[in-house]
Chain A
Amino acid sequence: MNREASQKSTGAVHMDHAHDSAVKHVTGEAVYVDDMLEPAGLLHVYFGTSDCARGNIRQLGLDEVKALPGVVAVITAQDIPGLNDISPTHTLDEEILCSGEIHFAGQPLFAVAAEDRETARRAARLAEIEVEEEPAILDVEEALARKSWVSEPQEMRRGDAAAAISAASHRLRGELRTGNQEHFYLEGQAAMAIPQEDGDMLIYSSTQHPSELQHLVAATLGLSDNAVTVEVRRMGGAFGGKETQAAQWALLAALAAHHTGRAAKIRLDRDDDMISTGKRHDFRIVYEVGFDDDGRIEGLDVELAARCGMSADLSAAICDRAMFHSDNAYYLPTARIRSYRCRTHTVSNTALRGFGGPQGMMGIERVIDAIAARLGKDPLDVRMANLYGDEGRNITPYHMEVKDNVLHELMPELAETAGYHSRRDAIDAFNHDSPVIKRGIALTPVKFGISFTTTFLNQAGALVHVYKDGSIHLNHGGTEMGQGLFIKVAQVVADAFQVSLDQVKITATTTAKVPNTSATAASSGSDMNGMAALNAVRKIQKRLIVFAAEKYGVASESIQFVDGQVLIGDTLIPFPELVNEAYLGRVSLSATGYYRTPKIWYDRKKARGRPFLYFAYGAAVSEVEIDTLTGENRIRRVDILHDAGRSLNPAIDMGQIEGGFVQGAGWLTMEELWWDDSGAIRTHSPSTYKIPVSSDVPEEFNARIWQPGKNREPTIHRSKAVGEPPLMLAISVHSAINQAIASLAPDRPLPALDAPATPERILMCIRSVTDNGGD
């Protein structure tokens, strides 16, 4: 890790620092929404939902709900003074409370506010609901057949892929399905609304997007944005699941507070949270590829069909990102990428770490493995042969130049340190002698585009105050969900002022300090907020320098901030002293900072542009074993080399790398969501939906940050975003499992293992490639 700077007491960047709340986490003192001191007279809100996937409400019988002692208010769609809509992209297709048409099983129909939470939950189950059911569209096939979309199909094109494929010496077709994923943030959705004077509303919410929630509360209550304040100190995990999905519940609390004049809190039970909030999109990926004798792709045609659920939510951008990553790290001389955004009568799928990128990458990595199997080559050789290269082989299907590719160095280094080639031979030997247990290994890369692909979202703000005693108050638009954003931005501020980190007070995100922020998402948190905070610091420093230059009669160039002090000519004075002098000299010690990501643009209609400022890279080698009798599987060893640029905080970034990988491995192996034929989800709790536990992580788990890493673009201290990219390193696990299955039938085409690779899918896939299948 980058520890070379650790000698300097004030050099707060490029150093390991513990999460700012680490001590509060381990002592239980860290406060989450449900832990806050409760205002007197607090009401508790819950909600009743639809059992059926599609239909019309004939009658919403709420008499028994209202009659339960302790119930204070019951709220329906008719009780919403403003707009009954939570669609984040103004598609007006997702109601807070159903006004008549039911679009999925689990859709909120009404809310109830009661004196305690148990009463509210109990009352919410007492409604008598008459529904005229209608046939529901539940899967991608039916949605495709009926052209049921949440947004229009998109196509991305470069060259004539069809011609290139038909002219190629080799051609392959295939299909792959990737499953949903539940976020499983440990802290469920929660919010508290406290009415203020003038009908204003103060909201505490576990949300990644305070500004959007502020606007939605205002729109729902018929207020202007300035009447609503949203504050969030921290979330107990989010992963994209609190980007849009936190709003509905906060709005129910706000409505209850609005109607009763009392503070109101809502906290979802885990099962209800899993039933009524969105998940990662499941995809059906169909491809056709043409390639040469070396395995180099000449043309790729890929069709991505995503199950978006009942509303658009963020699906358009998610499906766009799946298209943007259908190349992963590989040059496609010709490509046609089509995307279908299927509307189904299931919960609306949403952002989840990677945001469509993982699904897009799964497709192309399967293509590479299939090419290698066809040609009898080591898949790593085929990967290397197809990597983006120099001029002539560096244009993406969306016509962006790839200028910062580091995989030609990073992948061989990883292959070497992980012993990829010798282990591959050892695995062949093991498989030869082991009839029941089979092993597989795979090395897969990640190239992940950094920036919101919706260009206008790439802006951020910060607010920095320096108080008379020299202590610093830091605020910015980013939210803390565990990723370590707050400590990273504080490091940037401490480094810029050259003061110790503990002089920087980290404060809760609030719309009252920094307005019009974007969601903390797209891995952009420290890139954007770090820059915005630095910008604010620079403003204050500039004022201090002007002041000091005049007061001490020195040139401003001879003033420097060093090690808790300020060097003014030959005089060193403590930072707090200069600050106090500046205050007495009537200098403003507070500044806002602002940042917008430069260079990016995208023309969505033409599918052309530079949607990303840069790419983050990494690669992983995973070795697995499977039991061919049962399909059970274990990860034996993982080696990761990841490019975090010049890491702001290697310890924090390592946490993202290890944690992202394991979350990705869960998505691709054991995590399976299951809907019954009526469209009801039946895996809505940790007893039926299994995320990885400690024993799923191999003893040999060697993750490293790539030492030469340095962002080619002038990002904050040349670091790189690291929130999402490592999740996709886990594609190596799925690929390795498929290799283990392939060892059973070396002369056949690559097995078509879908995801998640549960024991059942693995066993059925084994039977499809061996004679055991019978048919």
Chain B
Amino acid sequence: MTSLLIRGGRLIDPSQDLDRTGDLLIRDGKIAGAGDVAGHVDEEIDAEGMIVVPGLIDLHAALRDPGDEEDETTFTGTAAALAGGFTSIACLPDTTPAIDNRAAAEFAILQAARARNCHVYPLGAVTKNLNGEELAEMGQLVDGGAVGFSDGKNPIHNAEIMRRALEYSRMFDRPIFNFPEVEELSRSGIMHEGYYSTLLGLRGMPAAAESIMVSRDLALAEMTEGRLHVTTVTVSNSVQQILQAKEAGVKVTCSVTPHHLALDDSTLQRFDAAFKVNPPLRSQDHIDSLIRGLKDGTIDAISSDHQPYSVEKKRNELDEAPFGIAGLETVIPICIQTLIDPGHLSWLQLIDKLSTRPARILGLSKGTLRENSTADVTLIDPDAEWTIEPEQFYSRGRNTPFAGWTVKGRAETVLVNGQVRFHQGQLLSRANPVA
């Protein structure tokens, strides 16, 4: 029996609608009590001035392992997750080879166990080799630990396949994550289609490319009663449609990224590939709709959509550079800046979107500080001022559009299974294992 007391923090737990100052007791890797705790404990952490929350959970992050270890490995990606305050991540199946079979799912979990940073839950492929033609063995993937299904950044373009995936996954009560894009409309595009794409001569990716796919998927989800998760919603029309579908009882959830809230398409004027991301950074009117959607609950969750790339891949002409932002380590400060400081969301609402809801979407009994739940806990210092320096990232991906920004708020201490794995910028797991 070992016990640890996190003393005097502001406890925030959306699963119990809890927001109060108090202590959190952890015993043998489980949460043993919250409030005013008395009696002997083995160890104490002073949490005064900290916000104590259920560990953050990322709905979709790319780990690139195996296949593209120059961009990220399970070790570096999960270290980045801890540094960002995440205790669990769902990893995308777009590795090489893809996570489209049971062995590959088990390998992802094994790599995470070797890394011993945070929990990793694989998203299995919807289709074999992510090519959109034939369903992957979803039952086998679930048995191998998959918590949901996704074809990564490949939209499931065949409506028939999407229909069958939504129907088939009902047996396992697991969601289908689709990346909403009609490729014919956005092919070879670089940025949002609008004034700035016209100005810069960069090929546009119209808002309709996303909302048309959202529309199709909502109709299929309604028909099949399957569970749909729309990843990275970025346009007004998508938000409106999802709101209507939810009101009609369709089983749909959706998520947004911090960078789509913080940055608009005018940033491409710098011709810097750090701003090249898919879906593209949109115009301010779309951003306003996303914020409204977060406030009214249409948008369930916030995900980093972590897409790490090595420097040599990103430091290139805009046509050649891949899409994506390494987002895990900047989620907290960017959310504070875009959502908390302007008063759009309360802390309780923000943590709901970063932990409690993602846990529900993935079917994990996490995202809570209730007694007897696993002690995955994050202490956030909301006032810590720091400058985002990609060279300091734990991730191998240095591709952030926020380099040089002075921000406030970061994860101070992160506990996984009741053990302190990250504290004051330092990783407390084993050294990088040769695995």
Q: Do A and B come from one complex?
A: no
